[in-house]
Amino acid sequence: MDRIRIRGGNRLNGTIAISGAKNAALPLMITSLLTPGTLTLSNVPRLADVRLLQRILQNHGVDITVAGKRAGQTGMGDVMHLSAKDIVDTTAPYDLVSKMRASFWVLGPLLARCGEAKVSLPGGCAIGTRPVDMHLMAMEKLGASLEIENGYVIAAARKGLKGAHIVFDKVSVGATHAALMAAVLADGDTIIENAASEPEIGDVAECLVKMGAKIEGIHTPTLRIKGVTSLAGCEHSVIPDRIETGTYAMCVGMTGGDVLLKDANASHLGAVIDVMQRAGVSVDVKNDGLRIHRNGAALAPVRLDTEPFPGFPTDCQAQLMAMMTMANGTSIIRETIFENRFMHVQELARLGSDIHLHGDTAEVRGVKKLTGAPVMATDLRASVSLVIAGLAAAGETMISRVYHLDRGFETLEDKLVACGADVARISG
């Protein structure tokens, strides 16, 4: 099993190209189930989760090809062609779905196009229960009948889905994706209230419009969908990954230095930029991305709650906590989205951090020095928080179970090494 070795203390200087957003690429791939035409996605990140979803979609009969780079192509991701001319299997089996939660989202498109679906209840990172009750409520509102049997959701809509008024009792990215992808082929009008307004939701909605869907209110908490009878293929480029952007920004904040995060979209990162600036890290918006720099000034402590977009993202909480371990004072970080998202705390403690948990709140007392040690990744974002801490720790940090990192960060070691970090992957 691979490990990552970090010898800390180097400042970061240079350019890091931001990859396509994993949290947009996965639902975009799933939209291919809604049309017999070919969906061509560019800037698709090369990640373990993307490869797993390819297997899941191929199990349903989606033909997928990945093209080589073409002249004039921008971005570092893949160009993927997905064609679901014939859906040959409407079952998403446990052995595949259990490995990645987002694969549960095939439920809506299969119901909308085929009138039936049998989808295993999901798995993924162990950062909270993340129930699918809102997904199922949305399908029932759209006219599907549902049963849960032997760990599977068995759904049917023999006469097709019908437009409905769906009101979520809390903001959920997954449930919004599910309802949106099902409603575009439903008969009649659908209103989704208290919808998630994350940039990744907007990216999927804009792709669906290119395919022929009729959606109003994109990027707002109220989506209005007029159902259509069919969708066509289209070409679409995946947006830059705002979580990867925030992660590398915090790497620079932790180590000091000056790095251009190429292709980063500042409009997706307002809350992150605000927190970085409050912490004493300079963030400059450039035509080609974001410039992050910190040269000598001490990090200032911050106080924040994680929130749905446009608030500070839960997917950057662990990274920020790692950066705050060496702030000049005490930071207060409250996690409001997932109940188990402090599993990185005990591993950061092995490096010498001083963090105290009080329910959903972490009190991070800054220390003057971290020291390298063997640590273990527990989930995707927790694993990269250990990288951030290791970059500033004296001596050597060895991170095991880095397959978590491979789920969400494309060529992480290469990007850091190019900016002067001493990072290496140790195989076996």
Known binding residues for phosphoenolpyruvate are 22-23
Q: Residue 61: what are its φ and ψ, rounded to 5°?
A: 110, 10
Q: Which residues are annotated as a binding site?
A: 22-23, 101, 170-173, 315, 337
The question of whether 125 is a catalytic residue gets the answer yes
Angle at 405 between CA 404 and CA 408, to 5 degrees: 100
Q: Where are the beta strands (DSSP E) in 94-138?
A: 116-120
Contact, 390 vs 397, CB < 8 A? yes
Nearest to 291 by CA among 250, 261, 255, 254: 261
How does DSSP classify residue 411?
Answer: T
Contact, 327 vs 287, CB < 8 A? no
Q: For residues 383 and 403, what is the distance between their CA atoms, to the nearest angstrom?
A: 9
CA 31 to chain centre: 17
For residue 31, give every residue at least 6 positions away whose Cβ sits within 8 Å of its Cβ, in sequence order, or none. 39, 109, 181, 204, 207, 208, 211
DSSP readout, 139-159?
HHHTT-EEEEETTEEEEE-TT
Contact, 166 vs 126, CB < 8 A? no
Q: For residues 257 and 147, what is the distance between their CA atoms, to the nearest angstrom?
A: 55
Q: For residues 43 and 238, what is the distance between their CA atoms, to the nearest angstrom?
A: 5
Instruction: Give me the helices (H) in 9-63, please.
Output: 22-30, 48-60
Which one from 125, 207, 251, 419 is the annotated catalytic residue?
125
Nearest to 274 by CA among 305, 298, 251, 241: 305
Q: Where are the beta strands (DSSP E) in 142-218?
A: 145-149, 152-156, 165-167, 189-193, 214-216
How does DSSP classify residue 306?
Answer: B
Contact, 177 vs 112, CB < 8 A? no
Q: Which residues are annotated as a binding site for UDP-N-acetyl-alpha-D-glucosamine?
A: 101, 170-173, 315, 337
3-state secondary structure of 412: helix
Find the helix or strand (DSSP H, E) in which 81 lies.
strand 78-83
How does DSSP classify residue 330?
Answer: E
* The 3-state secondary structure of 65-115, one letter per residue: EEECCCCCCCCCCEEEEEECCCCCCCEECHHHHCCCHHHHHHHHHHHHHHC
Q: Which residues are catalytic?
A: 125
